[in-house]
Chain A
Amino acid sequence: MKLSGWGNYPRIECRGQSFETVSELRKMFAEALETIPRGMGKSYGDSALADHVIFTRRFNKMLDFDRETGILTCESGATLSAVLDIFLPEGWFLSITPGVKSISVGGAVAADVHGKNHHRAGCFSECVIFLDLMLPDGRIMRCSRSENQDLFRATCGGMGLTGMILNAAIKLQPVASSSIDETIVRCSNLDAIFDAFDQYDKTAYSVAWIDCLAGGSRMGRSILMAGDHSNSGPLDPPRAPGLSVPFDLPGLCLNTWSVKLFNELYYRKSPSRPEHRVVSIDSFFYPLDGIGRWNRLYGKNGFTQYQLILPPEAGKKGLRRILHRIAESGAGSFLAVLKLMGPQNNNLLSFPMAGYTLALDFKIEKKLFPLLDELDNIVIDHGGRLYPAKDVRMTRSVFQKGYPKWKRFVQLREKYGLSNKINSLQSKRLGI
């Protein structure tokens, strides 16, 4: 079967198998020469691509929920969306959620995903109480902060390269309603948005849309969306998926001019003074999930997301250089997101660290990769790094400079017999 990541690039022929019991998985591990776990396939690039992949989508049962503590034990293929469908009406919400809910719990652990509350709550691994991990030799290891800590620290953020996550116990947070009290702040340039992030630091959630094509004095103009859970209001179940993009749009639909127009309209439609409103969890956290298969908007050649993070002080300068270079190139994206992040954790390969993260979608075209290579240099020069869950092209040296603990990760892979048995196109490219 042909498989790709969410970016539809690259698209390769794979053999895929799914399992529903531990004994089936053990057999697959024994028989496969080399394989990679694959959840919902929502990582953008080649993190879950290999000649042989093992799907977790049928290994998706919920095993226990403790209504006193909010701890849910489930299999790794369960999706965040399924968790919300069941538990949001009961007043429980994910402690940490990325902007897409159709991902699996295993995928959330493997990419150690972050959300709009990273500055206060950290990465997904913060809500993980323990994991059960199957190594390729069939051993099952309970991993937590106190048990097999080395495997826990490598598995959270380890992109599936440490074995198959079987079960995870995750802590949900109680919420009084399914609404969010949101504040929208329009910021006319980069300094204004930096200030706004600091000003709204105490708010549970914050993220900004940024116009990456605006130059000069308007460079970095943004709209900050900050929110807290409402203290009152209904506990509505999540909305059902809306319309889907039925086919790949012609790649030409997204060009500098259409993106500029979109950005201009989007910026202007937001209020010039901070405005408060109450919105649903779905529209605050998962705006894009309302449109099924929106990845088709980028045409059949696919797209990639370039997500970088820079430490706070050097980062401000670095971001200016990066935005300048992008505006100059005209390679714009609808989805450009900026966020102030909290401190980094102790996991070997987790992406976030204190500073600013910027995420930009680009459609795949010839001139793109040289531009991204240039941006890589700016990122590395300013002490930053790129997010592996979005990546499809970074070089080994860019990766190694960004993730100084990569050697420990490689050693751990050797120690547990993973190096030759579990690999993705990405792990081979990055040399981990």
Chain B
Amino acid sequence: MRSAVVLRAVLGRWWQLVCFLPFVIYVVVLGGPAVANGIAVWLMGIAGWIAGVFAKDLGNWPNRPLVPGYSKTLFQMVLVCLLLIPLACGSLWTALGNPPPPFGPGLLWGTIMTLCVVRTAVSPAVLATNLAGIIGLGFYLIWAAKQAMHPVVFESLTDWRLQFPALALAALALFHIWRRLNAPLRATTRNFEAEGREPLYTKLYGLIAGLRARVWREVVVTLPLVALALLLVLLVRTGITTYHVWIVFVLACLVYSLARVVVRLATIHVPLRLLWLSGAAETRRSLGRECALAILMLGFGWLPAGLVGAAILALGMHQAAQFDGVLLVAFTTLLMIALFVGTGRRIPSTKGSLQLLAVGVFCGGLTITLIHGIELGWADRSAMVLVLAGLAVATWWAVARALARAEIVQ
């Protein structure tokens, strides 16, 4: 009976499945056998994201720990999403005469997505950025198929030396999901009195004022990306071209940072308001300039890891590859700011699904356009100029929106 009611609850979000459908069809139709492993992992990411959203929404209820067995039901639902889908797809895949799919990396990717969604605050911005991350990976797969990339990356996903450690890490992630689902919804409350004692400098959380603290924090936060870079260096030694590894790394950085960046951008009007009220910024113009700098800095928040990764991986990279990478970085920054503009304003919860759907279509449209643009040779200097111009316009737009939300009118 519990399974039935949970299934009934899950099917209430049919629009999320519909949202993914065009991209699944696109990848399946346009992808090829070379990226089959990647597609399997990508599907697991989608399954994990959906499981996380369901678990978060069904668990976002203060009484959750009080209802007997409720957290256990949520965890079972997560397991069903994460295990049944790969088992079914993998069995079918293997039955067609193919080698076993990459269960380990797929499950790891799915559990990480679930954990990310379960741990973060549910908001359209967070959900949208998660969605963008998944679409980014899909973009990579399509791009890899179109560019006829060396298949070693995907073949290595089924290597047992990778499968077993990935399965162990996935089990660890599942344990954290279990603990999270059993923990109280509100572990602590904001301590307004202590916050009131903090100086204004600290209140601005180093966004604009504390550059050094912010850089150090970014270094710490992006340590996993540095670890990924080192892993990729090991992969380079197996024969994969440096260019492909670098692209993998850039995409990982972008997916990793998207959620953090957009969420921070969505709240940037709060320190702006504090700056304005405290008199730290004398004119609206100066405040707008600082805001633009902060937005751009946030847009490149993964820069420390990017620099480390680039320093490790850039040796021997072709100039055209560098150009593609820079274009990708600029484009994704534009995407992040556009997401902020699109999701920054609070929209009534009843419109959340439409908003998410719109963002999904927006990201998908841009992704497909860029893919075909690269395929048709648009990725030249004029494309770079266009993207940078779009970046400037979007930044200006984001500043105007942030100042308006901070109610700074003169």
The answer to whether A and B belong to the same complex is no
